[in-house]
């Protein structure tokens, strides 16, 4: 699978500190290489139904897994206290 960022996630990512970016990119590379990216994440419920959460330190990556396109689309990256707002 390939990891892609939507426009807002890309903007959020660009605002992060360099060391945090490095950690997030490493984790996303691991997720990208997995046969089933769902084994590392957690399915979300409620108004985020259909999205998956990946915990990376104090940050959360919210993504949509598109099996038909073999894509993991990152829709949000934020600190854990702000990510679900």
pLDDT of residue 85: 77
Q: What does pLDDT average to in each consecutive run of 10 residues of the chain (85 residues)? A: 94 94 95 92 94 95 93 93 84
Q: Structural domain of residue 38, as residue ranges?
A: 2-79
Name the H helices within 3-80: 7-14, 18-33
Please report whether residue 30 resides in a domain: yes
- Give the largest CA-CA distance in the chain: 33
- Report field, pTM of the whole predicted structure over 0.85: yes
Please report whether residue 70 resides in a domain: yes
Please report whether residue 13 resides in a domain: yes
Pairwise CA distance, residues 59 & 55, whole Å: 6
Please report whether residue 6 resides in a domain: yes
Pairing assessment for the beta strands 71-79 and 2-5 based on DSSP bridges: parallel
Domain count, the chain: 1
Please report whether residue 85 resides in a domain: no
Q: What CATH number should be reported for the domain holding residue 69?
A: 3.30.2310.20
Pairwise CA distance, residues 74 & 3, whole Å: 7
């Amino acid at each position: 699978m390939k990891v892609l960022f939507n426009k807002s996630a890309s903007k959020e990512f660009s605002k992060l500190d360099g060391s945090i970016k490095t950690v997030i990119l490493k984790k996303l590379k691991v997720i990208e290489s997995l046969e089933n990216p769902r084994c590392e994440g957690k399915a979300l419920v409620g108004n985020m139904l259909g999205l998956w959460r990946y915990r990376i330190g104090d940050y959360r990556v919210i993504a949509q897994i598109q099996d038909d396109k073999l894509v993991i689309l990152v829709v949000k990256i934020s600190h854990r206290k702000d990510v679900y707002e």
